[in-house]
Amino acid sequence: MKIQDISVNIVFDSRACATIEAVVFDTEGNKFTGIVPAGKSTGVNEAHILDPHDARRVITETVSPAFNDKEVRSIAEIDSILLGLDGTGRKEQIGGNVMLGVSIAMVRALAFAQKKEPWEVIRAEFFSNETELRSPYIFSNLINGGAHAANNLSIQEYMVIADTKEEGVLRSIERLIAFYKELGEDIKRMYSLPRITIGDESGYAVDFDDNFAPIALLEKKIVTSEMQRAYRIALDAAASGFYKDGAYSFDGNMIDEGALKKIYDTYFDRSELLYSIEDPFEETKEDAFRSLQVSHADRVIVGDDLTTTNTATIERSAKNGAITGVIIKPNQIGTVTESCEAIRRAHELGVRTIVSHRSGETEDPILVQIAAAANAYGVKIGAPLRERVFKFNELLRIYS
Ligand code: PGA
Ligand code: ZN
């Protein structure tokens, strides 16, 4: 496939914040796009983001000329050109958003040229050892707190982990939608609310009695609706968001790391269905992650801000015993190649991978294609409402 030109559109994400859509043209006049999402609870080691107007300048002046009339054959080749243009660890020169937008659009261009789906092209290049197509668990964020909601919850995300394998993806999504709607009615009844507020990832975002109350509610609802075989519970504490000057703001108190660990211990004891906690402590406190993982060897501590989709960091945290699960967000690292390398290394280390959206999302569903290519353990895609539904729809296109 030969590239003619690359341009960029400034578009808006689900919070109406400006982001970029890279547009790649091949020499036959076909056009392919890639849109970049944005996080709010971002890790400090995430790839640098260029302002969309600067991104437009960089694409026109630097990136497009580098691909002009260029024959490209693989994702790795494309991304190594992008990495060469940048030359910095954190993508400060051309920006992680520029690189990722172009990288995604190029995957689509390669897939079109080969008459394949994006996941097939990604698999052929990075996951050729995967022979079957296994649908991922859906991590669906039904109750929002932290930076994604204007309520009293420190914990950012209360998810159910829906098993899609038993009943198939369509049935599993239908059931999840029903579960989510009923949960909203339960919350309204429980707190006598005439209406219910929705957070950034489409989960319910009302005040609760304390940070454990949503877990208790989900656990009870799963049991009463007899969904124990299909659902477990996952949290994303996103603890950097409620950490300041050595203390965590939790249930109205400022507490230290040891006290927070004890609280998580009780959560695991009180909730049999609670399976995983993502970013339970501030993002540099790897020892605290490890101590929680060691205390609960049968549960999964997940790195997100801790690991920022960086292969070397994932490897270090996994080998240290700090995590047994990891979030993969392509825009944390900047290219499809590096995201896939991170997944591959995680799988080699026995770490569960969860390919994730951002709280500021767009209509671009590439994360689901990456998850399918890799046979990732899970996809984290919010509650089944509003713009979050587009990722559910992409699952349906691939798996049904
Ligand atoms: P973000 O949150 O997209 O706002 O960073 C998602 C997460 O922390 O997993
Ligand atoms: Zn997170």
**Token code pair at residue 247:** 């203390």
Q: How far apart are CA 274 and CA 236, in angstroms?
A: 12
The answer, yes or no, to whether any atom of ligand 1 lies below 6 A from the CB of 367, is no
Question: Which own/partner pairs from 309-317 qualify as long-range (CB within 8 Å, at least 24 positions apart)?
Answer: 309/333, 309/338, 309/339, 309/342, 310/45, 310/342, 311/338, 311/341, 311/342, 311/345, 313/45, 314/342, 314/345, 314/346, 314/349, 314/351, 315/345, 315/349, 317/286, 317/289
Annotated catalytic residues are 201, 329
Nearest alpha carbon to residue 301 among 237, 347, 229:
237
Ligand 1, residues 17, 156, 200: which to mutate, most atoms within 8 A of Cβ?
156
The answer, yes or no, to whether any atom of ligand 1 lies below 6 A from the CB of 2, is no
Q: Which residue has the tokens 């454990």?
A: 212
Q: Which residue has the tokens 């230290």?
A: 256
Tens of pLDDT, residues 329-362: 999 999 999 999 999 999 999 999 999 999 999 9
Amino acid at 186: D
**Token code pair at residue 210:** 């304390």
Helix ranges, the chain (H): 52-58, 64-67, 75-86, 96-113, 118-126, 169-190, 213-224, 257-270, 286-295, 311-319, 330-333, 336-348, 366-374, 389-399
Does 207 score more than 90 pLDDT? yes
Q: Which ligand is nearest to the CA of 277?
A: 2
The answer, yes or no, to whether any atom of ligand 1 lies below 6 A from the CB of 236, is yes
Neighbouring residues of the ion ligand 2, judged by CB less than 5 Å: 236, 238, 278, 304
Q: Angle at which helices 366-374 and 389-399 pack, to 10 degrees?
A: 40
Structure confidence at residue 298 (pLDDT): 98
Q: How far is the CA of 238 from the centre of ligand 2 (A)?
A: 5
- Paired with 198 in beta bridges are 204
Going by the DSSP 8-state scheme, the letter that residue 201 receives in this structure is T
Structure confidence at residue 400 (pLDDT): 87
The answer, yes or no, to whether any atom of ligand 1 lies below 6 A from the CB of 308, is no
**Token code pair at residue 358:** 């951002």
Query: Do residues 197 and 166 touch, judged by C-beta distance below 8 A?
Result: no
Structure confidence at residue 363 (pLDDT): 98
Q: Which residues of 277-312 are buried (b: 16+ CB within 10 A; e: fewer)?
A: bbbbbbbebbebbbbbbeebeebbbbbbbbbbbbbe
CA-nearest residue for atom 1, ligand 1, is 39
* Average pLDDT rounded to a whole number, residues 189-218: 97
Q: Is 231 helix (H, G, I), strand (E, B) or coil?
A: strand
Tens of pLDDT, residues 134-190: 999 999 999 999 999 999 999 999 999 999 999 999 999 999 999 999 999 999 999
Q: How far apart are CA 327 and CA 307, in angstroms?
A: 8
The reported pTM is: 0.98
- CA 86 and chain centroid, separation: 24
The answer, yes or no, to whether any atom of ligand 1 lies below 6 A from the CB of 15, is no
Query: Do residues 85 and 93 touch, judged by C-beta distance below 8 A?
Result: yes
**Token code pair at residue 49:** 């983001």
Query: Do residues 346 and 314 touch, judged by C-beta distance below 8 A?
Result: yes
Structure confidence at residue 383 (pLDDT): 98
Q: Which ligand is nearest to the CA of 358?
A: 1
Tens of pLDDT, residues 290-326: 999 999 999 999 999 999 999 999 999 999 999 999 9
Tens of pLDDT, residues 250-298: 999 999 999 999 999 999 999 999 999 999 999 999 999 999 999 999 9
Structure confidence at residue 287 (pLDDT): 98
Tens of pLDDT, residues 74-104: 999 999 999 999 999 999 999 999 999 999 9
**CA 305 to ligand 1: nearest atom:** 8
Q: Which ligand is nearest to the CA of 38?
A: 1
The answer, yes or no, to whether any atom of ligand 1 lies below 6 A from the CB of 123, is no
* Average pLDDT rounded to a whole number, residues 9-17: 98
Q: How far is the CA of 329 from the centre of ligand 2 (A)?
A: 10
Q: What are phi and psi of 327, to 5 degrees?
A: -85, 135
Q: How far is the CA of 236 from the centre of ligand 1 (A)?
A: 9
The answer, yes or no, to whether any atom of ligand 1 lies below 6 A from the CB of 283, is no
Q: How far apart are CA 121 and CA 104, in angstroms?
A: 12
Structure confidence at residue 47 (pLDDT): 98
Q: How far apart are CA 378 and CA 325, in angstroms?
A: 10
Kind of pairing, strands 247-250 and 243-244? antiparallel
In sequence order, the 6+-apart residues with CB closer than 8 A to the CB of 102 are 6, 22, 24, 34, 59, 63, 78, 82
Tens of pLDDT, residues 26-53: 999 999 999 999 999 999 999 999 999 9
Ligand 1, residues 279, 304, 355: which to mutate, most atoms within 8 A of Cβ?
304
Q: How far apart are CA 114 and CA 120, in angstroms?
A: 10
**Token code pair at residue 82:** 């992008």
Q: Is 57 helix (H, G, I), strand (E, B) or coil?
A: helix
Q: How far is the CA of 151 from the centre of ligand 2 (A)?
A: 18
Q: Which residue has the tokens 């050109």?
A: 81
Ligand 1, residues 277, 307, 359: which to mutate, most atoms within 8 A of Cβ?
359
Q: How far apart are CA 164 and CA 175, in angstroms?
A: 10
The answer, yes or no, to whether any atom of ligand 1 lies below 6 A from the CB of 332, is no
The answer, yes or no, to whether any atom of ligand 1 lies below 6 A from the CB of 13, is no
Mean pLDDT of the chain: 98
Does 205 score more than 90 pLDDT? yes
Q: How far is the CA of 157 from the centre of ligand 2 (A)?
A: 8
